[in-house]
Structure 1
């Protein structure tokens, strides 16, 4: 593999991982509501879930979806339902920071599942594989190896951003507003999924 592909692959992984999306918003919310360590558990699940999806797409899963359009539609609506569920949980939150920081925090499995229901993750996988790896398994594995730390660090930045914001939104009334803005952004992201 040409070393000249490493930089573009890394740049693609960074842009896809750190740009706002449903998983990033949940990471920020976790940083606000729970200890950073709990948010990083979610980040680890989301990262490994994404890498599993990425490798599956590289192995041909995305082309199988074109054979069964109904499955793609089902996947899209499952993603919308999951995001609306998360959005409703945020919107209904009372704005009080948890005293038991381990309670109700999204965990490893939530992070992994969310990536499989996240259209942004499917699009990043499909477009990244087609642009930089094609059918070459070695390129796909290298790309996944680059993606792993970049994705984890990018999502972690959102958790730390939430933890930073926690200092300024400790007031329950203000936190309700932040929660509702995040909930609205998650719900709006569903429109992009439905209209795509």
Structure 2
């Protein structure tokens, strides 16, 4: 595969992965509240969940959804419900740093969130459409292999940004403000999903 295809694929993967979205906001929040290692567990789940979604879309899942519009509508409502649930949890958070990390979003939450994340579906469908041709498994696998480390590192960057905030902002009132801002952004993304 030529460098002329690898570089644009990598740039697309970076832009899609590092730009703000629901998963990135949860990564940031996780970094402010829990040890970095717990945030990276979520990142790993989200990355692998995305790669499985990406491969599924590349192998025809998105085509199936366009043939059965009810599936797309169901996915959108499930995504909105899940994002609102996360937004409410963030908004109700006291800002006190937890003594244990048992409630931190984990691997399964990260993987599930990508399947309910419209940004992930859009990134998969547009990336597959732009850089691969129908049923070109080798190109789809190449793209996925480029996406894997780029996505993981991009999401990890958000966790580390949250950890940076945690180190420099220890007061609960500030963390409450950050959490409520993140909750409002998640809720706003729901409004966009429903009416945008």
- TM category, shorter: over 0.9
| Aligned equivalent of 1:103 | 102
How far, CA to CA, are the matches of 2:30 and 2:97 in structure 1? 11
How far, CA to CA, are the matches of 1:109 and 1:71 in structure 2? 22
TM-score, normalisation: structure 2 = 0.98
| Aligned equivalent of 1:2 | 2
How far, CA to CA, are the matches of 2:165 and 2:114 in structure 1? 25
Gaps of 5+ in 2: none
| Aligned equivalent of 1:73 | 73
* Residue aligned with 2:168, SS: coil
Q: Deviations over 1:32-79 (max 9, x none)?
A: 000000000000000000000000000000000011101100000000
Q: How many matched pairs?
A: 195
| Aligned equivalent of 1:194 | 194
Shift in Å at residue 99 of structure 1?
1.1
How far, CA to CA, are the matches of 1:76 and 1:138 in structure 2? 30
TM-score, normalisation: structure 1 = 0.98
Structure 1 residue runs of 4+, over 3 Å off?
Answer: none
| Aligned equivalent of 1:129 | 128
Shift in Å at residue 3 of structure 1?
2.2
Shift in Å at residue 129 of structure 1?
0.3
Shift in Å at residue 169 of structure 1?
2.3
C-alpha RMSD of the superposition: 0.7
| Aligned equivalent of 2:23 | 23
Gaps of 5+ in 1: none
